[in-house]
Amino acid sequence: MAGSISTSRLLSSPSYSGSDSLSFLATQKPFRCYPFQSRSPSRSPFPSFLIRSGIRELRERIDSVKNTQKITEAMKLVAAARVRRAQEAVIKCRPFNETLVGILHSINQSAQLEDIDFPLSIIRPVKRVALVVVTGDKGLCGGFNNSVIKKASLRIQELKQRGIDCVVISVGKKGNSYFSRRDEIDVDKCIQGGGVFPTVKEAQVIADDVFSLFVSEEVDKVELVYTKFVSLVKSDPVIHTLLPLSMKGESCDANGECVDAMEDEMFRLTSKDGKLAVERTRIEIEKPEISPLMQFEQDPVQILDAMMPLYLNSQILRALQESLASELASRMSAMSNATDNAVELKKNLTTAYNRARQAKITGELLEIVAGVEALRES
């Protein structure tokens, strides 16, 4: 067997002694792995690799793997207990948010027909965009944070290629540590989560900053970059337009070209010159129609002024909840895989430890037998 120690070969060697055999085992480089080749093609090798190391090092590493397994299993159980509550919060808030957005679009459309201007619905030529990037506060959750940061980086690069400036509002420790090290990215504010689950107070802090940037015309468009929760095994990073309050596809730059992200509007693949191309089209959203006979008791602008804070808070809170649910689901999956790997590694290390211990005992027995035979011959 490859990697095994032949005791008979050591005994037949003229320079063999018991202390030499033990020193030979102890001087092997620890934790080296050698490929296992089975002599019989029908025999399944187990383990798939052999670990050559000293007995003490193997024992220490087995204990280390056991402790790691306890930690990953505990983190998996904690994430599984929290993801259920986060999932329920996401599912419950979606109908309210969708209905609120539809009503606001209808009221805004009625106000535009009456030539009433509302500050948060004014469509200006986009020269600067604010990106609210939502990441996690902790790691050990697979590729969750990397996917969101990569999505935001690609969006920033796309806007810069169009000649549009970007400013980032980072939410989460992982995003803060990434964007703070990038001198080429303008960061307006870094916000850290304060509790176990997102609250209205945390969303209010982000909404106030977004509102001040848009009303003061420092930015012409605000986008949310977060991870949308699909299921316990799937989550997708998405881009969602927060301001201005307008239909998708209406935000354009100074040249009249649409600056919405591909994920934020409807597009379809077509054939152009024998190659696949992407065509941008506006989304026709079925929104609740307001009866023309309906009369507002208050001015539509006052109604929008009262509802816009609720709109901003609800949309940002929804993004925080979706991101948290995706983070917990990703952490639960990552810790489950880590626990399975720890179990498999512990099994392989235990097999290697037992083989090394058996080889040591066999060597000592052979030394005793050789000593007895030498005494008899003398």
- The predicted structure's pLDDT at residue 248: 60
**63 pLDDT above the threshold of 50:** yes
pLDDT in tens, 285-330: 444 455 555 566 667 677 777 778 888 888 899 999 999 999 999 9
The one catalytic residue in 33, 141, 190, 258 is 141
Q: What is the pLDDT of residues 124-164, one digit of tens each?
A: 888 899 999 999 988 888 889 999 999 999 999 999 988 89
Per-residue tokens: 99: 């209905």
Q: What are phi and psi of 315, to 5 degrees?
A: -70, -40
Compare 43 and 91 and report the one with higher pLDDT. 91
141 catalytically annotated = yes
Regarding predicted confidence, which is higher, 51 or 344? 344
Band of pLDDT at residue 104, cut at 50, 70 and 90: confident
Higher pLDDT, 166 or 104: 166
The answer to whether the beta carbons of residues 140 and 101 sit under 8 Å apart is no
Query: Which residue's structure tokens are 């379809």?
Result: 268
Percent of the chain with pLDDT over 90: 24
- The whole-angstrom separation of Cα 11 and Cα 24 is 13
Q: Name the range with the highest mean pLDDT among 16-20, 53-57, 64-68, 104-108.
A: 64-68
Whether 279 contacts 270, CB under 8 Å: yes
The pLDDT of residue 113 = 62
Helix, strand, or coil here: 128? strand
Does residue 54 carry a pLDDT above 60? yes
What pLDDT was estimated at residue 265? 38
Q: What is the pLDDT of residue 294?
A: 56
Query: Distance between CA 240 and CA 223 in Å, rounded?
Result: 6
Better-scored residue on pLDDT, 83 or 264: 83
* Mean pLDDT along residues 87-115: 77
**What confidence score (pLDDT) does residue 134 get?**
93
| Better pLDDT: 105 or 358 | 358
CATH number of 114-283+300-331: 3.40.1380.10
Give domain limits for the chain: 114-283+300-331
From 65-69, 181-185, 254-258, 341-345, the region with the lowest mean pLDDT: 254-258
Residues 52, 61: Cα–Cα separation, whole Å: 13
4 to 16, 299, 359, 360: CA distances (angstroms): 17, 87, 9, 12
Between CA 307 and CA 53 the distance in angstroms is 68
Give whole-number Cα distances, 201 to 31, 195, 205, 206, 305, in Å.
Answer: 51, 11, 7, 9, 19
